[in-house]
Structure 1
Amino acid sequence: MYLHSTEEDNTTRYHTLDQMTDNPFHLWEDHSKDSSTHTLASGILNDEQFYIILQCMIYTLQLINNCAIIANSLNIAVFVKLGFSEPSNISLTTLAICDFILAVLSTWSNLCFWLTYHNVRLPFHGVNVTFLTGGAQGAFLSTTVAWITAFISLERCLCILFPLKVRRLITPRGTFVAMPIIILFTFCPSFYTYIRYKFVWVFNPYLNESILNTTPVNSEFAILFEKISLVICGVLQPLLAFSIVVICTVLLVVQLRKISSWRLSVTSAKSQRVQPEENQASTSSAAESRISQKEERLVRMVVAIATIFIVSYIPTCILLLCYVVFDEYNLFGVNSRLFIVSGYIISLGQPISGSVNILIYYKMASRFRSVFRHLIRLSRQEQERHEH
């Protein structure tokens, strides 16, 4: 046991150091809770279940994180090569950058959990410190990804429904301005964690050294600020972005069906025309058909991206709601084990979505596919020159 005094009060708190116990994932506990509550929490996930699930999640998540880092690195390289003359390239590049940073933050958190799981002595508390240096930021960055996806879906939806008006408003310059605004609007509130929690150095007499840890700030302002931030940034923002993506995706799917029906009617009309004047009109219709096919490919790509996002983000919305509604469902509550495991399972969705996007771009975007092949070819040639 070690002694720890906080600035908020002069009372003494005792906590078991994670390196000196059988439970390397020991968190800050509120010993004011009755024993029945703790017994219930322990009954949900006992030690053996917790560690088996956690070990599987650690390796699975890191494998997916590696794929997301590689895939989004390639996405960024290809979009930079394509240039930013198209607004869609700007938003898709920003999406790839956010997915890349999110995978890096997840890797950092995963590494700390892995080291803690294997009882590696660290100069900091592997779980609590990771919450303030990667976990919270990753959660809010996922909201940034949600809003960028909503922007892409809304942009494409408006371009299809009101092509003449919207194309004058949605320009590369406007998109360059919109991306930083979205990031500031969604990611900056993550710094509320440094108001609600703070870093502290804790001395361990058994090891004769201090380690970095975190502790909640129990002032009324900090608690109120956390509640307001969680409601606005943890529930309203993600749910609003999710709703925009769903609505725009539905509208785009309906429009795709209309385009397909229109193309089928044009094809039937062309087969029945035999006079020269009608042949000339058929040529014009064919040109319109080619334009609509190009537009349709872009719409289909956006629909695919949005659909994958919707599937992967539904569990995150559920977790955020539970985090706000249930007081003890958090990293520092009595249900911390359940929170960690469910958080790990849900966190698989974001890197999977970030990894799959490159397959969508490659399949549906011919320019992306050609530039991607060119970059791979150049890298192979460079490697062969080094080998020889």
Structure 2
Amino acid sequence: MYMHFTEEDYTALYPAQDQMTDNPFHSWQDHSKLSSMLTLSSGILSDEQFDIISLFLIYTSQLINNCAIIANSLSIAVFVKLGFSEPSNISLTALAICDFTLAVLYTWNNLCFWLTYHNVQLPFHGANVTFLTGRAQWAFLSTTIAWITAFISFERCLCILFPLKVRRLITPRGTFVAMLIIILLTFCPSFFIYIRYKFIWVFNPYLNRTILDSIPVHSEFAILFEKISVAICGVIQPVFAFSIVVICTVVLVVQLRKISSWRMSVTSAKSQRLQSEKNAASSSSAAEARISQKEERLVRMVVAIATIFIVNYIPTCIGLLCYVVFDEFNHFGVYKKISIVSGFIISLGQPLSGSVNIVIYYRMASKFRSVFRRLVRLDRQEEKRHELE
């Protein structure tokens, strides 16, 4: 719901406007807080330090975001050309779409912060509106990415542990339904944030016009609902998904080592005794033997994707835990500067993970590499080069 505030209402909402500096970044302070809280927040991170760190992180993260947008656009195009007859193509396409959307949301967030810093007069409060139209969504979308990665890792675990049964368990239709369920349970709850916060039209006497802003709703139900939804969707779900990825990655690495050792023993063929031992191998080794080299390459690719995800998702888990443990560690709290800076730091890792995935696909998936080369016309360039030679 949108509300219109007059100049008197605006003054009541923001009584400390005379304490504001000329830099719009500093107007992010919640002026309804007590002055002691403002002093505490400024003591942790000064305005000058906040400006320097924020600008550096904005430019750095945006460079990574641009790479992530390009890389995931290409990945989606390649997977569409490959088709969705394989369940892995469906899950990897969903992962690329989420990574692409995340990079777009990061870009929107960085753009608004950059325009605000350079005194561009926007028709809305850049930081507060961006919180409800960007930061909240990518916080939940990171959970979606975590669960999709967990599903991909778990799927590969089933393929390597039960190679004869997995094709009946995991089908293209089942994978598609699983992706929809993951998105509904992880990303869609991000819109519940509008129960806790709402948009308002505020008359800004310094701009002499009405702008769009947002304020928290201070009802007991809204506060309780936010705590429950953030605890479940923002902490429990991503940490649980992160744990599944870690466990499945460890299982995959162990099984890959077993497969490599078994293959080495088969190809060496040192003696007849070794051959007979191979024939009398355990049922687990027999199952491993049925895993083709194509499946093994796919497993190695999933391990690489999961490992990069684990490394880049650790800061997100730490930030989510801080958001729940410390009441004032949020966009409207005492430690809002630290919260904003930590959000920028987190924004470096996740798009980086999404932009690196295409390199893994290209190096480890022959079909992806072939279609990718045709898509960007690399094969034609090589043919022309050979003709000239």
Above 0.5 in TM-score? yes
| 8 Å Cα contact 1:78-1:372 kept in structure 2 | yes
TM score, norm. by length of structure 2:
0.88
Could you tell me how far 1:32 is from its partner in structure 2? 4.7
Unaligned residue ranges in structure 1 (runs of 5+) = none
Other-structure match for 1:149? 149
User: Structure 2 matches for 1:1-388, cutoff 5 A?
Assistant: 3=7, 5=9, 12-15=12-15, 21-25=21-25, 26-27=27-28, 29=30, 31-33=32-34, 35=36, 37-269=37-269, 271-272=270-271, 292-377=292-377
Give, in whole Å, the separation in 2 of the partners of 1:83 and 1:21.
56
Secondary structure of the 2:200 match is strand
Question: Would the alpha carbon gap of residues 4 and 195 (structure 1) be closer, same or farther in structure 2, given more than 3 Å must change?
Answer: farther
Give a deviation string over 1:143-179, Cα, whole Å, max 9, x none.
1000000000000001111122222010001011111
Could you tell me how far 1:4 is from its partner in structure 2? 5.8
Which residue identity lines up with residue 260 of structure 1 in the other structure?
S
Which residue identity lines up with residue 120 of structure 1 in the other structure?
V
| 8 Å Cα contact 1:4-1:202 kept in structure 2 | no
Question: Would the alpha carbon gap of residues 28 and 216 (structure 1) be closer, same or farther in structure 2, given more than 3 Å must change?
Answer: farther
Which residue identity lines up with residue 113 of structure 2 in the other structure?
F
Secondary structure of the 1:12 match is helix
Identity level (%): 77
| 8 Å Cα contact 1:4-1:14 kept in structure 2 | no
Which residue identity lines up with residue 358 of structure 1 in the other structure?
I
Give, in whole Å, the separation in 2 of the partners of 1:17 and 1:189.
35
| 8 Å Cα contact 1:329-1:335 kept in structure 2 | yes
| 8 Å Cα contact 1:3-1:13 kept in structure 2 | no
| 8 Å Cα contact 2:373-2:379 kept in structure 1 | no
Give, in whole Å, the separation in 1 of the partners of 2:113 and 2:208.
24
Secondary structure of the 1:242 match is helix
Give, in whole Å, the separation in 1 of the partners of 2:187 and 2:143.
7
Could you tell me how far 1:268 is from its partner in structure 2? 1.9
Could you tell me how far 1:14 is from its partner in structure 2? 2.4
Segment drifting more, 307-316 vs 23-32: 23-32
Give, in whole Å, the separation in 2 of the partners of 1:366 and 1:224.
51
| Equivalent residue pairs, number | 365
Give a deviation string over 1:26-64, Cα, whole Å, max 9, x none.
2252645351x3322211111111111111111111100
| 8 Å Cα contact 2:14-2:31 kept in structure 1 | no
Give, in whole Å, the separation in 1 of the partners of 2:340 and 2:199.
20
Could you tell me how far 1:122 is from its partner in structure 2? 0.4
Other-structure match for 2:387? none
Secondary structure of the 1:192 match is helix
| 8 Å Cα contact 2:65-2:351 kept in structure 1 | yes
Segment drifting more, 332-341 vs 202-211: 202-211
Give, in whole Å, the separation in 2 of the partners of 1:370 and 1:192.
43
Give a deviation string over 1:339-381, Cα, whole Å, max 9, x none.
1111101111110000000000001001100110111118978
Which residue identity lines up with residue 334 of structure 2 in the other structure?
V
Give, in whole Å, the separation in 2 of the partners of 1:77 and 1:32.
49
Give, in whole Å, the separation in 2 of the partners of 1:327 and 1:294.
50
Unaligned residue ranges in structure 2 (runs of 5+) = 1-5, 280-284, 385-389
Which residue identity lines up with residue 89 of structure 1 in the other structure?
N
Question: Would the alpha carbon gap of residues 330 and 248 (structure 1) be closer, same or farther in structure 2, given more than 3 Å must change?
Answer: same
Secondary structure of the 2:253 match is helix
Secondary structure of the 1:163 match is coil
Give, in whole Å, the separation in 1 of the partners of 2:41 and 2:60.
25
Give, in whole Å, the separation in 2 of the partners of 1:147 and 1:16.
43
Secondary structure of the 2:199 match is strand
Could you tell me how far 1:23 is from its partner in structure 2? 3.4
Which residue identity lines up with residue 71 of structure 2 in the other structure?
A
